[in-house]
Structure 1
Amino acid sequence: MAAPMPRSSLSLAVRCRPCQLSSLPTRSFSTTASRNAIGPESPKFIEIPTIRQPYARTKQDIKGTLPPPRNLFPNRGPNKVSEEYLSAVARQPSNKSTPPNDHVAWKRRMAASRRESLKEALVELNKRKVQQEAEVATKSAAKRRANEARLNAPQREDERLMNPTITEANSKLQTGFLPDPEREREVAEKARRVQAKEAEREARRRDALHTLYMNARTFITTEEQLDAQIEKIFTDEPFPNQPEAQDIWSAKGAPPTVQDLLSKVNHSEKTSMEFHKGPAILTGARMKRIAEELTGGKMD
């Protein structure tokens, strides 16, 4: 019986077992390559998430054109599957003596293999050509028979019943256009629509001309007027009533929003002063618009 190990040696062996196992090569159960096995020059070194649907295959632009295949069996050529032609093309060797070494024997075997391959290729290509020609001839004959059957088929019943009506309609169309009983009414309706559009266009042009005339009173036409307007605007105190204002928004407030305009119309203002203000301003604006419509022009 072996002597028992001392406790100190046993504890040392237990502590050193991971060190011994760490030197052994480990094998992963995964089939994918680990990160350490992929170098930084590989495009798979950085993981990029891919979409579920794979990328569509792009059309490869193959440069150049393939030459047309040769016609191995021309109509005026010899019969390339006959024994005479095959014997002439793949002639047997004249020297049938025993090969002196392995190299010569190998060359003879390769030559025999080439002769057999040539014969087999000619036979198979001829068989393929005959089969393709038979398929083309069968399809052509079937199409020709179908066309002849349609050409010689009797007239259908629906065509026989509708042919008189179609012939009468074609004869009427050949003499000229069909008379329209509502043509005069349609022409008069179109003329009225054209006149209405012309009147509307004239009214818009007159209104635009009157608006231009009303606004032309404030146009700057001379240098004196331009200098006076510049001196009026570009001053040290542009807002004398509100000297602490730095810009026009601080002086006159922000421009009204759409919600502010709707609040004025619906009388739902949030401030008490605006809410208790009378409808005089809104009524005055509406009366001005009505007067402009009645007079046919803009008003100050």
Structure 2
Amino acid sequence: MESLPASICRACRLRLLKPSSQTRTFSTSSTHMYIPPESPAFVDVPEPHQPIRDQKSIVKGILPVPRELFPAQRPDKPGKEYLANVTRDPLPKNVPHPDRLTEVGRYKQRMAEMRKSHLREGLKELHVRKTTIDAQIAHRSETRQKEHARLKSQAQREDERLTNVSIPSAMRPQKVRELSHEEELAIYNARKAAHDARLAAKHEERLDKLHTLYMNARNFITTREQLTAAIDATFTSTRSIWDTGVPDTVEEMIKRGRDKTTDQGRAGARFPGDVNERALRDQERMQRIAEKLSGGKI
């Protein structure tokens, strides 16, 4: 009865494993005599055949960063001078005579000497351990770097070259070309010249904008009298808009815009408005030509 098949439910297994003087019946149902309702095994909950591993309890908090015993700012640790200062012996005038010491005093004196010796030995052993570990780490790092450089620079094996997939040379990874000092200097000079050219172009553009602003400053409105005169000239007029005739319709304006191949204007006739527009365009063109030749805004 010690080993029962896994197909039997837990309730039946508990009932069968429990020693009893009564005769086991042919019924497979469990009785409340063996598993009372308040028992956790009263309700059969299936469990996996593989045992569940106990999870580790979560420890709250974090461990502090260990203190550096041998910082780079103290290269004298653990030298003789440092150990002598740390484990300093008391002055002779402060040391009582051995005959005057009690048992407690002699015990404290022995404990003080023991603490000093333990501190000296501990610092020396920790320094030796740190030096050994640093040397091992540096040796492993140097070994890995050399191995990496060797593998990176070695040639491709012949079997790999023969069985490799055909790849265009343009798609293959290219090795970084190391430039010489002369090539780096030439690239630097070319980039510096391009940068100076961009700065010079920006400087010329700023000067042109400044000159344009200076030439247009004659028309700026800076006082109230100029503002009043400009408003009167724009919005005050004794003439009627119908004195020049009936305004053009939209269709006539569209036709005039499309008729660019002839100088006759609308319907073969030249109107004063067309003459004024041509004169204004010619004047603007001549002004742009003069500005280009003189190199400044007019």
Q: What TM-score do the two structures reach when normalised by structure 2?
A: 0.37
Q: What TM-score do the two structures reach when normalised by structure 1?
A: 0.37
